[in-house]
Every structure is written in C-alpha cells, then in structure tokens.
Amino acid sequence: MIIVAYTTGYRAGGPLLERAAHTLARAKHTVGHRVVVQATETKRAFVDLIQSTSAPIEELHFVGHSGMYGPMFGTTSLPEQLSPHEWRSLVSEVSFGTDGAAYFHACRTGRWFAAFFARTFGVPTWGHHLYTTVSLQPDRYVRIPRRIDANTDVFVVGQPGRKSHGVWGTLGKHLGILGPEPMQCHEPTPHEGADYDSVARLYDETFQDIRVRRPEWRWLSERLAHGEHVLDLGCGTGALLRALGDHGVTGVGADVSGAMLDRARAHRPTDAFVQLNGPQLPFGDNTFDAVVSMLSWRYLDWDPVLLEVARVLRPGGRLLVVDMVARPAGVRELPRVVWDKLRTMDHERRFVGYSAARARLVTDPGWANMLHYNPIRAEHEYVWFLESRFPGRRVETLNVARHSRVLAFDSGPVTQAWFAPQSYP
C-alpha cells in the first residue's frame, strides 16, 4: 500500500500541489503498486486516511505545506497541525511494512520534522531542507505557465530562492543557475544530548540574571502586578521567577529538563518546580493569574498545551509569550537592526561576566547539538497560530536581528477562551 496525501487549501498553490500529488501517484502506479491518493484538508482527514488501511504502509507521501511540526492543514486563518504529542499517540495505530518509508514533499520538513518522524515511527523518512516550489521538471526549476494540459506532470522540488538565498536566490532560480536540492533521508536512530540537560550548567551561568535580556524582561514585568501568582512554562533554571519574585510576583516553574530544574531548585529551594512529561499540566483548574512562556514556547505542543493553559488560568487570566523566531531582516529594517544591536550591547555591558559566559555556552558542542534538534520556528507560524486562537490580539516585535527577531504576545483576559474546535483529536 502506498498513500499519497495532499492539501489544497492551506496556502496559495493548492491546485498545483494537487497536480503534483497525482503526478506522484501515476508514477507509483506504473511500477505496479497499489496507490491511494486523497486530499486531506484537516488533521482528522489525514489521520483517518493513514488509519483506514488494513495493509501495511509501504510508502507514505504528503504533498503540501508544512511548519516546524510537519504538515499544515486548514488555512492560515485557522491553521491545524499535529503536535509531537499527537504524532506519538498514533504510533500504535499506524502500520508500516518491513521496508516502509515516509516522504514529506513540503518546505523545511528535512530540518526537524523528518528526523522526528523517523525516530517516532521507526522508518526512514525523507524531507526537504529548503523551501519548496512546483516545477515542470524534477531536476531543474521550470516555471509552470498559467494554462497547462490537465495531464501535464508537475513536481515539488526543494529550490533555492528568495526566502533561502535572497535576491541571488531569485535570480539563480529563474536563470537556472541554482538547481533543486534533493530530499534528505533521516534514519530512525536515537539522538543523544538533544535537550537542555547537557548545557544546564552553562545556561545557568549565562542567565543568572534574566534581566540581561532587557526588552523581554521589560515587556513581561510591565504586564505582571505585585501579588499575582504565575506559572512559568519552560522555566529552565528559574531565572525569570527569581526576578519576578523581587517584584512581589509568586509562581511555579515547569520544565521538561530535569537538569535545568535541579539548577532552579538549588537557587530557590523554597520555590515549587515541576517536571513535565507531555502537554498535560499537573495543576488544578483556576490556579494562576497568568501563564508565562519566555523563550520556550517553540518547544511546546501548542494546541494541547493551550487547552491546558485555559484550564489552569483563573477567570481573566492571561497567556504571555515571548520567543525568538526565524525571519531575515528586510532592507527597510536595517536601521532598526543596527539600533537594536547597539542598545543590546550597551545594556549587556552592565552585567559583569555575561558576555564571557554566553561565549562559553554558544561555543559548547552540546549547545550546537541541542539547536540541531530544536531549531527556532518561523515568524509566520507564531502569528497565524496565536492570532487565530485569540482574535483581535496581535503579535508584537521586541527586537530585530539580521536573521531572527524576538516576538511577544499578550492574549488579553481569557475569561472565555475562543479556541475553535480542532478536527483531531
């Protein structure tokens, strides 16, 4: 059994993605395989498709758009995405053959998701490192005209372009100088040192005082009042809670890293720190005035965690998110890049030992390994997700660097959280 799933509605180019899916299905049919090709516009449709076959899956193909966690469904106005927790819950319900494999013909699937899928389902998994486009040829980019015959073959290719290589990428793509990059295969091998445990000591030494990150600290502290009780999701070594404590804010820290929590407890033995295992939060209903996530939202299972956040917040409570995202600065933003850099450097000089500690952290092999398995997400993923779950609220930009920026989001009072029902689970 070969399954070819595709989406048409999430973003522009849906009709071409459908053509590419059927091109792929025809190629598989010609070599004698039993092929099922089907549109899957929701999480539920995709799950139903891969669960519907009684025969082992020889190849699973997905043709469409993706984010950090893989395939995207729905629309950008209300995106759906299977979280890591949800993928893991499907392992016992999806049967791959002895030589089974998965192929995700979508942008950036080779950066994080393909490796995660391979480890989770135990099958070789292919993905694209670059952004993808649709071409008339599989081995070189050929623009597709507006009108083509219904049976014309088209192909999804990972292609250098504007998003990956700027102006040079655009020219190289259309002039044929920069050809497509082949899909990358990730084997189902375990990974070591892919979390913060290996760098807990260095991280703790670097961020002894979280106020060194002035824009983030200032934004958060201005939104929390004396006497409030907060949950710090992804608390790390507890630096944010220690700083908030100086302002009369009490809290509980939660993290998945045992080594980071050990550091947090060593600093403040009287504070409460809880190790998480999955998206469930081990706290009662209506417990916190605010849930804060500083530089850790990228690691969470967004939709499952968001439901838990709404549950543990008191009426009128808020979700405050600050995180770093990937997005290159535009030409018009260059003055701000320079200004933000100078402002940051001036502030950091006031914290003795910070620069040296940060240098030790970022040059440590464990830090590079952790980032390899936990890259930062793209800006648009945050904007589409958070603004769709909290209509009327907007993501703010706190700091702009050459290839990244820091975003902030205040949900406002979550008296009646507006979370459109997800199609799965």
Mean pLDDT of 394-402: 97
Does position 356 have pLDDT exceeding 70, yes or no?
A: yes
Superfamily of domain 196-410: Vaccinia Virus protein VP39 (3.40.50.150)
The domain segmentation of the chain, as residue ranges, is: 2-186, 196-410
Does position 173 have pLDDT exceeding 90, yes or no? no
In the prediction, which pLDDT does 163 show? Answer: 78
User: Model confidence over 214-253: pLDDT tens digits?
Assistant: 999 999 999 999 999 999 999 999 999 999 999 999 999 9
Give the tens place of pLDDT for each residue, 55-93.
Answer: 899 999 999 999 888 999 999 999 999 999 999 999 998
Topology match between the domains 2-186 and 196-410: yes
pLDDT score recorded for residue 405 = 97
The 10s digit of each residue's pLDDT in 21-30 is: 999 999 998 8
Pick the CATH number of 2-186 from 3.40.50, 3.30.160, 3.20.20, 3.90.550: 3.40.50
pLDDT tens-digit map of 265-319? 999 887 899 999 989 999 999 999 999 999 999 999 999 999 999 999 999 999 9
Q: pLDDT averaged over the chain?
A: 93
Task: Retrieve residue 107's tokens.
Answer: 């942008």
Residue 194 clears pLDDT 80, i.e. is over it: no
Q: What is the pTM of this model?
A: 0.90
Range 182-210 average pLDDT = 90
